[in-house]
Structure 1
Amino acid sequence: MDSNQAGKQHSLMGSEAASERTLYPYVTGSSVVALKFKDGILMAADMGGSYGSTLRYKSVERLKPAGKHSLLGASGEISDFQEILRYLDELILYDNMWDDGNSLGPKEVHNYLTRVMYNRRNKFDPLWNSLVLGGVKNGQKYLGMVSMIGVNFEDNHVTTGFGNHLARPILRDEWHENLSYEDGVKLLEKCMRVLLYRDRSAINKLQIAKITEEGVTISPPYALKTFWGFSAFENPTVGAEGSW
């Protein structure tokens, strides 16, 4: 094999290895839970960043405003979320440059994110996130999600990750259309507490964000009151003969 062929082969192998390394998530965040309440949208996420199965980072903010009317939450790969925020900054800057008195609403931002995620999925180079997008514009509340392969929908309450299994049933039972801000926060805290008990990637340091016609408010980090004296926690294998 001559040097040119060897160089080409090395180049091909190098590019393949480089692309392969980007296909696996490294630092990830767990579930996002969001719901509509009487005046707007509430969204909750903890601040843990897991390096594999190790809870490495404890102050990762996963709730961010997106323009004037939208709020974005993300689970999954943190660096991919940062890339998505960069895309949104460029989109909103371009929209503002028109200076026509209009601004992107949550439905437009959600549609844009859906196209981005599906486009990257078709290139076999997905952005490894599940996104929740909520907002209020002209009195209309909007809440939707999009997965890493572009699956998307709107609903009165949405979740990502383990929240789909553990929090969504609670929301189906207890959510109603005229939920007050205080009751909405209590419902989100109940969901986050269940996730903390059952999801190994969850930590007891969370933020709750609110978006209304007046804008976005993101709470400082705080911890939930918990109780670990349940009998199932103290003796988890009772009645399970032969288990660990």
Structure 2
Amino acid sequence: MIETPTHTTEPIVTGSSVLGVQCVDGVVLACDTLASYGSLARFQRITRLHQPAPGVVIAGGGEYSDLQQLFRITDNIFRQEFCQEDGYELSPRALHSYLARVLYGRRSRMDPLYNSLAVAGKGRFLGCIDLYGTAFESEAVATGIGALLALPLIRKQWHAALAMDEGVRLLEECLRVLYYRDCRALRSVQVAKVSDSGEVLISEPYELSNLQWKVAQAAEEV
């Protein structure tokens, strides 16, 4: 009897939440730079944001080696498209759909890629995919524990006229909340901005400022 592989259902080195918000002039993605080895904050300067082609950015949480594999898959897709020289350009929505099929196919073979992804692209596209291949588009997305802690905050403050600079500040505030509440989060973060026309800017890692620990002090006094 052939045994089903189980190593893929036991992630070892993992990244936490990814956040995304749709703005009037583009899309913003944000995440921290930590890859945890179990509960150890082992790798503190990794990147979970990837630009496989002009006008599109992918960000992911979960098993980091699986995320690297997905980045290689997307690089190969766009490399093949470039070599075809047929004038066709894979859209962010098409890539989002393709990655959903990849994740669903691996899940159906009981050999999943243990990741949740956010895809942002030109035309203000923003989509999310979980490890089962469930895919959807929304004006605000979050993966991991961020879907519980950060997504309600984003939805509460989101409005149709939100500019990208405001979106960055909103996601930074949500990352502060995650740093307070998520033991797999880090204060070192990266932000990616994709404009409506397809211009991409991925920041260098930087540390969140204005962190407040007065709540923790008050909790000790109770």
TM-score by length of 2: 0.94
2:42 matched to 1:59?
A: no
Instruction: Find the partner of 1:219 among 191, 203, 215.
Output: 203
Is 1:24 matched with 2:10? yes
Q: CA offset at residue 195 of structure 1?
A: 0.5
Structure 2 portions without partners, runs of 5+: none
Are 1:170 and 2:131 an aligned pair? Answer: no
Q: 2-side partners of 1:182 and 1:211: how far apart?
A: 12
Bigger RCO (CA 8 Å, 6+ sep): 2
The correspondence of residues 89-168 of structure 1 with structure 2, limited to 5 A, is 89-136=75-122, 140-168=123-151
For 1:145 and 1:89, how far apart are their aligned partners in 2?
19
**Distance in 2 separating the partners of 1:168 and 1:192:** 11
Paired with 2:165 and 2:218, the residues of 1 have a C-alpha distance of 35
Identity %: 39
How far off its partner does 1:106 sit?
A: 0.5
Larger radius of gyration: 1
| Mapped contact 2:103–2:131 kept (Cα < 8 A) | yes
Residue 204 in 1 paired to residue 187 in 2? yes
The residue aligned with 1:229 is: 214
Q: 2:14 & 2:41 partners in 1: Cα distance?
A: 9
Is contact 1:144–1:153 with CA below 8 Å preserved after alignment? yes
Over aligned residue pairs, what C-alpha RMSD do you find?
1.6
Alpha-carbon deviations, 1:5-49, whole Å to 9, x = none? xxxxxxx7xx849x3333310100010000111211100000001
Answer yes or no: is the 8 Å Cα contact 1:145–1:158 preserved in 2.
Answer: yes
Structure 1: distance between partners of 2:124 and 2:168: 17
SS of match in other structure, 1:60: coil
Q: 1:177, CA displacement in angstroms?
A: 1.5
| CA deviation after TM superposition for structure 1 residue 216, in Å | 1.4
**Structure 1: runs of 5+ lacking an equivalent:** 1-11, 240-244
Asked if structure 2 preserves the Cα contact closer than 8 Å seen for 1:68 and 1:103, the reply is no
Equivalent residue for 1:80?
66
Q: How many residues align?
A: 220
- Quote the Cα distance in structure 2 between the aligned partners of 1:184 and 1:21: 38
Deviation at 1:237, TM superposition (A): 6.6
Q: Distance in 2 between matches of 1:66 and 1:110?
A: 12
Partner of 1:48: 34
| SS of alignment partner, residue 22 of structure 1 | helix
| SS of residue in 2 equivalent to 1:179 | coil
Structure 1, residues 129-168: CA drift from partner, whole Å, max 9, x if none?
00000101xxx22111000011111000100011111111
- Output the CA distance in 1 between the equivalents of 2:192 and 2:114: 23
